[in-house]
Amino acid sequence: MHSRRNLLQMLLAGAAVTTIGATPSLAKTFEVTHTDAEWHKLLSPAEYNILRQQGTEAPFSSPLLNEHRKGTFLCRGCDLALFASSTKYDSGTGWPSFWQPLPHAIETSSDHSWIETRTEVHCRRCGGHLGHVFDDGPKPTGLRYCMDGLALTFKAA
Angle, CA of 29, 35 and 41, to the nearest 5°? 130
Nearest Cα residue to 106 out of 84, 85, 87, 129: 129
Given 75, 78, 123, 146, the catalytic residue: 146
75 has catalytic annotation: no
Q: Alpha-carbon distance 146 to 143, whole Å?
A: 9
- Local structure of residue 62 (DSSP, 8 states): -
Nearest Cα residue to 120 out of 100, 139, 147: 147
If one counts every other C-beta atom within 10 angstroms of the C-beta of residue 32, the result is: 15
Report the DSSP pairing between strands 81-84 and 97-98: unpaired
Active site residues: 146
